[in-house]
Amino acid sequence: MTQKILTGQVLQFVANPFEGPATEAVRVITDGAILIKGGKIETVGTAHEIRAKAPQALVTDYGDHLICAGLVDAHVHYPQTAIIASWGKRLIDWLNSYTFPEEMRFHDAEFARDTADRYLDLTRANGTTTVTSFCTIHPESVDALFEAAEARGQRIIAGKTCMDRNAPDGLRDTVQSAYDDSKMLLEKWHGRGRASYAITPRFSPTSTPDQLSALGALWGEYPEVLMQTHLSEQVDEIAWVQDLFPDSRDYLDTYEAHGLLREGGLFGHAIHLTERERMRLREMDAGLVHCPTSNTFIGSGLFDMAGLVAEGQRVGLATDTGGGSSFSMLRTMAAAYEIGQLRGTPLHPAQMLWLATQGSARALRMEDKIGNIVEGMEADFVVLDLASTPAISQRSMRATDIWEAVFPTLMMGDDRAVQATWINGVCDR
């Protein structure tokens, strides 16, 4: 099996930049190199050391470009690819006006395959190497995404979205079909190559208590898989949940009461949390996913990054395509910074990169596989040109350290900054 060497500026995390000085959590090897074999990282060091260790390896020299772990998008809706940047709606209207009509189309396997391929191509062009996605109620939509990712050797987490109420005719399943379809798809895809299944109730308003219980029972049968859903995205949504579940203590309790709260749970948004909800999420070691471009685009609110991280919550980062307004995790990092500024707690660039890589990997409970460049981890990388546009170049030329050089790309970068995307040890762009 051929060994490969990538050379450039290599960024590694040696600690969590939220738990101490951010700059001390990162090691940047200026004249760095990564030795990979068979989709895994064999070793990391200086270019001189690695070339001497493997003189026969194929070398790809990226000069002074920055090589980071591949970006990890922890909450998306790939079926919403074509409706991204649709105007003028908040959450409930967004679903009824844009999302539900589009998702109706995914009973067509060919349409689903075309969208899955287009979505993964768009995200790969932006340096994203791992995606966690909601599909639709149609098993065809799940197969399409897993098949597209498998063809690319890509790590993917996805599941059939389950809804048995408050959705249009043709876009509702039942308690039994949600359980049966989810179990069938889970057994088909989970652990196959780089695929992982996530049990996926859309959110409490679109599932009856019986359906939530059925999915909780399924999770109990397969505790090794993830469960993904939405939580406390908008205040009118929370009021709706209270009307639908009058006996529940809060929004989170609608999941907890049905076996859908524990480690391995992924809760998108989590903006308007009560103190009880925050305590229980931390006690159960669930994952929270910050979706900053979506939260501003549809007017949801400002995520409390500093407070939640200080509590010890697992927090990841996501584009939330297509409520989110960009396929780019660079743009998503910039939006997270801007929301931090609005809350008086701006993020350091090391923290931004950590959220988009190791933070999301931790939320997915995959930090031992993806999200960092260390020996034994999967060979997923993004190569960033830190002078990709005239505006970025003229700013980065004034940099006095690596973070002043990186920050303009995080704030202003797009797919032009992505010089290469490596997936499973193969350069895919």
In tens, the pLDDT along 152-200 reads 999 999 999 999 999 999 999 999 999 999 999 999 999 999 999 999 9
Pairing of strands 58-69, 3-13: parallel
Q: Where are the beta strands (DSSP E) in 270-380?
A: 287-290, 314-317
pLDDT of residue 94: 84
In tens, the pLDDT along 201-250 reads 999 999 999 999 999 999 999 999 999 999 999 999 999 999 999 999 99
Q: Do residues 208 and 175 make contact, with C-beta atoms less than 8 angstroms apart? A: yes
Q: Do residues 165 and 207 make contact, with C-beta atoms less than 8 angstroms apart? A: yes
Sorted by where each begins, the domain ranges of the chain are 3-70+372-427, 71-363
Q: What is the mean pLDDT of residues 358-383?
A: 98
pLDDT of residue 87: 87
How many Å apart are CA 232 and CA 272, to the nearest integer?
5
* The two structure tokens encoding residue 250: 């809060």
What 3-state class would DSSP assign to 351? helix
Residue 89 has pLDDT above 90, yes or no: no
- Sign for the CA dihedral angle at 65, 335, 297, 246 comes to positive
pLDDT of residue 187: 98
In tens, the pLDDT along 278-288 reads 999 999 999 99
pLDDT band at residue 266 using 50, 70 and 90 as cut-offs: very high
In tens, the pLDDT along 104-142 reads 999 999 999 999 999 999 999 999 999 999 999 999 999
pLDDT of residue 1: 73
Which residues, 6 or more positions from 103, have their beta carbon under 8 angstroms from its beta carbon?
Answer: 79, 80, 136, 137, 161, 171
pLDDT of residue 227: 99
pLDDT of residue 91: 81
Q: What is the mean pLDDT of residues 40-59?
A: 97
pLDDT of residue 370: 98
Do the domains 71-363 and 3-70+372-427 match in fold?
A: no
Q: Do residues 64 and 32 make contact, with C-beta atoms less than 8 angstroms apart? A: no
* The two structure tokens encoding residue 158: 């996805």
The CATH topology of domain 71-363 is TIM Barrel (3.20.20)
Residue 428 has pLDDT above 90, yes or no: no
pLDDT band at residue 429 using 50, 70 and 90 as cut-offs: low
Mean pLDDT for all residues in the chain: 97
The CATH topology of domain 3-70+372-427 is Urease, subunit C; domain 1 (2.30.40)
Residue 75 has pLDDT above 80, yes or no: yes
Element (H, E) at 8: strand 3-13
